[in-house]
């Protein structure tokens, strides 16, 4: 039960709270009344505004529609006036542009092309809207005349500014092959920037608006002539330089040249083309003898042709770069194909002439002319990748020209090699052509010389031989296969040479001279093989070749030494009388000793007289043979002299004891010395 005091307190709290709630309720009621009043006022205002807005709309909409109609009418009038002005302007095009078209585009190409654009639009307008109008014929005539003028201007620009590239500049361009930096820097500028800009603008207009492709023919004809003349000029430069100084002139270029400038200054490349056939003056003629004099023109022709091939590649590359700026893309390959034909045909024809000369030389057994094929063929094969790249996109007949020439040269070269080997084997034995002193035969020296030439063209010669192989191994041709073929060929030539020398040596009646002849030739072959490193190439297929030659040389020395047996047999101990010191010799014994001395003296004198005229060019071998013979004869003669010099076999000892041991040695020392 709640105490009375707490109940009283609680009643007061409830009464207070009830009083606050009543006050709040009274405030809310007053606020609602005010809000209702405001809402009524707002509704009244909005109703009034809506009424006024409807009245305004009813007044404005008709005005707006009238204004819109007026604006549309104004626009139509303006468009009509503009169209009239545009149409009227076409009737003035002919008179406005006639003077400029008549005077031509020279010096004001952009203005001229602007006039041509106006004329073309006029032609299109009259064709579409008034095809019977006389104005159409007039603007058509102006358009055709303008197109002809542009074609004429294109031809004029190309003719006036297409200049032959100077030989000196071409040589420098070729010289940059081994200097990549110089090669990158050096780009021929065939046309100046302004001329090139005009030519490009005209060509694009003729293609797009003139519907004309004749200018492409004009382009390739002019550039083709320039390319052909540039290459011919280089060849003529070689001819003049060779006749005046013997060396083609290709100086450094410190600055841009005036005749055909480059886009950047050119560094001097290391232009060292070692394409010449060495010692062609000693090459073989039909009798295996040296050619009479040195034909310098031969070297010049080789160098000139090789440089012209390189020049064609570089100039053709440059021509294609120029062409891509001027000729439309889908016509570039065909135009380029036509452009290079004259220059390419000239090179191929000259190459075929070289092949033809070589074939005729083979028939005459003149191998000096055949040797010209080697450096040219090597350069053609080295240049072929660049050739193929330049000729990409050209006709198959164009692409096949260089491979055809290479095949022709390889076939001719292989024929020459085989013919040379057969000719070495079958060279006739002519007595009058044999060296009387037993020295090296012309056939030997010339055969070795020819083989030494092949050292500079090992890959080329090997490829020639491989090109004629029909075996399955040839289909998988590689450098090792080529090397083995060349080694086999060289061994074949050396084998043929050895057989021929053996046959020729039979011309000599004296076996000793025959031995000296074979010794000299074998020794010359061996020394030449070692000196020129041919021996390494021979060793690819014949490991014992060097030892075999040394054995042959030693055999001939022994054969030669047997020629002295008829001298030394007189003083050998065999059949000599045996006597006791102090015992008087019988007449028969004295006579025998006399005959021995006389036989030795006569034989020595005869041999020395004969062999003095013989020759051994190799100093080392000559000294070796002399020394060996001196040792043998001195020992035998010294022992003989020691035994009988003090024996009283004659009253005139000086008649029989004519030579001291030292004198005999001196006589042998003078053997093989025609100057003594």
Contacts for 270 with CB less than 8 Å, ≥ 6 apart: 175, 178, 179
The pLDDT value recorded for residue 288 is: 38
Mean model confidence pLDDT for the chain: 82
Query: Rounded mean pLDDT of 485-510?
Result: 93
CA-CA distances (angstroms) from residue 214 to 100, 117, 164? 24, 21, 23
Please tell me the least confidently modeled range out of 48-57, 176-185, 291-300, 646-655: 176-185
Q: Which tokens is 412 given?
A: 């001719």
On the question of pLDDT at 264 being above 50, the answer is no
The pair phi, psi for residue 201, each rounded to 5°, is: -65, -40
- pLDDT tens digits for 285-315? 333 333 333 356 677 888 899 999 999 999 9
Q: Can you tell me the distance from the alpha carbon of 62 to that of 21, in angstroms, rounded to the nearest whole number?
A: 62
The pLDDT value recorded for residue 265 is: 39
Higher local confidence (pLDDT), 527 or 128: 527
The pLDDT value recorded for residue 269 is: 33
The pLDDT value recorded for residue 295 is: 53
* Beta partners for residue 262, in sequence order: 188
Q: Can you tell me the distance from the alpha carbon of 668 to that of 563, in angstroms, rounded to the nearest whole number?
A: 13
DSSP notation for 95-152: HHHHHHHHH-STT-HHHHHHHHHHHHHHHHHHHHH-TT-HHHHHHHHHHHHHHHHHHH
Please tell me the least confidently modeled range out of 88-97, 399-408, 423-432: 88-97
Query: Rounded mean pLDDT of 624-651?
Result: 86
Burial class (CB in 10 A: 0-12, 13-18, 19+), 392: exposed
Query: Rounded mean pLDDT of 69-87?
Result: 65
The pLDDT value recorded for residue 346 is: 95
Q: Can you tell me the distance from the alpha carbon of 566 to that of 562, in angstroms, rounded to the nearest whole number?
A: 8
- pLDDT tens digits for 443-470? 999 999 999 988 888 888 988 888 887 6
CA 207 and chain centroid, separation: 38
- pLDDT tens digits for 174-186? 885 544 444 445 6
The pLDDT value recorded for residue 62 is: 79
Residue 210 — pLDDT band, cuts 50, 70, 90?
confident
The pLDDT value recorded for residue 89 is: 67
Angle (CA) 7-11-16 rounded to 5° is 150
pTM confidence score = 0.72
On the question of pLDDT at 262 being above 80, the answer is no
Query: Rounded mean pLDDT of 16-22?
Result: 87
Contacts for 359 with CB less than 8 Å, ≥ 6 apart: 412, 415
Query: Rounded mean pLDDT of 233-243?
Result: 84
The pair phi, psi for residue 188, each rounded to 5°, is: -70, 135
Q: Can you tell me the distance from the alpha carbon of 234 to that of 346, in angstroms, rounded to the nearest whole number?
A: 13
Q: Can you tell me the distance from the alpha carbon of 93 to that of 133, in angstroms, rounded to the nearest whole number?
A: 14
Percent of the chain predicted with pLDDT > 90: 43
Question: What's the 3-state SS for 262-278?
Answer: ECCCCCCCCCCCCCCCC
């Amino acid at each position: 039960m709640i105490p009375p005091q707490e109940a009283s307190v609680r009643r007061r709290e409830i009464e207070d709270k009830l009083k606050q709630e009543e006050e709040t309720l009274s405030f809310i009621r007053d606020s609602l009344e005010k809000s209702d009043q405001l809402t009524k006022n707002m509704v009244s205002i909005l109703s009034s505004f809506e009424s006024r807005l409807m009245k305004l709309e009813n007044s404005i909409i008709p005005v707006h529609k009238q204004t819109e109609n007026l604006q549309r009418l104004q626009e139509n009038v303006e468009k009509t006036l503009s169209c009239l002005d545009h149409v009227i302007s076409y009737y003035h095009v002919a008179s406005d542009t006639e003077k400029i078209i008549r005077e031509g585009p020279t010096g004001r190409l952009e203005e001229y092309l602007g006039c041509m654009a106006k004329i073309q639009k006029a032609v299109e307008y009259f064709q579409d809207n008034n095809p019977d109008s006389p104005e159409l014929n007039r603007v058509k005539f102006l358009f055709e005349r303008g197109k002809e003028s542009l074609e004429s201007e294109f031809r004029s620009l190309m003719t006036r500014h297409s200049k032959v590239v100077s030989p000196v500049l071409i040589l420098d361009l070729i010289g940059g092959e081994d200097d990549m930096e110089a090669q990158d820097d050096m780009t021929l500028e065939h046309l100046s920037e302004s001329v090139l800009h005009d030519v490009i603008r005209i060509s694009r207009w003729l293609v797009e608006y003139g519907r004309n492709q004749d200018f492409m023919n004009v382009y390739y004809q002019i550039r083709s002539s320039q390319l052909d003349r540039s290459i011919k000029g280089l060849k003529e430069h070689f001819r003049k330089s060779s006749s005046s100084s013997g060396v083609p002139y290709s100086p450094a270029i410190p600055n841009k040249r005036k005749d055909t400038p480059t886009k950047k200054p050119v560094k001097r490349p290391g232009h060292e083309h070692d394409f010449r056939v060495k010692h062609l003056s000693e090459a073989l003629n039909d009798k295996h003898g040296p050619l009479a004099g040195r034909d310098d023109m031969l070297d010049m022709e080789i160098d000139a042709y090789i440089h012209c091939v390189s020049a064609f590649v570089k100039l053709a590359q440059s021509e294609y770069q120029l062409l891509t700026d001027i000729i439309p893309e889908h016509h570039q390959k065909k135009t380029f194909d036509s452009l290079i034909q004259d220059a390419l045909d000239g090179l191929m024809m000259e190459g075929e002439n070289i092949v033809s000369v070589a074939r005729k030389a083979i028939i005459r057994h003149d191998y000096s002319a055949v040797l010209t094929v080697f450096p040219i063929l090597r350069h053609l094969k080295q240049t072929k990748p660049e050739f193929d790249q330049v000729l990409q996109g050209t006709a198959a007949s164009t692409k096949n020209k260089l491979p055809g020439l290479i095949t022709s040269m390889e076939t001719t070269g292989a024929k020459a090699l085989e013919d040379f080997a057969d000719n070495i084997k079958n060279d006739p034995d002519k007595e009058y052509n044999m060296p009387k002193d037993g020295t090296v035969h012309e056939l030997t020296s010339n055969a070795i010389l020819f083989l030494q030439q092949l050292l500079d063209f090992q890959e080329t010669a090997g490829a020639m031989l491989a090109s004629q192989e029909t075996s399955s191994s040839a289909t998988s041709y590689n450098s090792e296969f080529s090397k083995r073929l060349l080694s086999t060929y060289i061994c074949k030539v050396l084998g043929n040479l050895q057989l021929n020398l053996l046959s020729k040596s039979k011309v000599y009646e004296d076996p000793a001279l025959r031995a000296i002849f074979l010794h000299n030739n074998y020794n010359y072959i061996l020394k030449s093989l070692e000196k020129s490193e041919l021996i390494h190439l021979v060793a690819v297929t014949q490991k014992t070749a060097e030892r075999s030659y040394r054995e042959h040389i030693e055999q001939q020395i022994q054969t030669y030494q047997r020629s002295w047996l008829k001298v030394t047999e007189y003083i050998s101990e065999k059949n000599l009388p045996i006597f006791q010191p102090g015992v008087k010799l019988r007449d028969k014994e004295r006579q025998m000793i006399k005959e021995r001395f006389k036989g030795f003296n006569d034989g020595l004198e005869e041999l020395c007289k004969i062999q003095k005229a013989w020759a051994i060019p190799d100093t080392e071998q000559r000294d070796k043979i002399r020394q060996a013979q001196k040792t043998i004869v001195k020992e035998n003669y010294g022992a003989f002299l020691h035994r009988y010099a003090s024996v009283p076999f004659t009253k005139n000892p000086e008649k029989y004891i004519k030579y001291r041991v030292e004198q005999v040695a001196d006589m042998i020392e003078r053997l093989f010395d025609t100057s003594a």
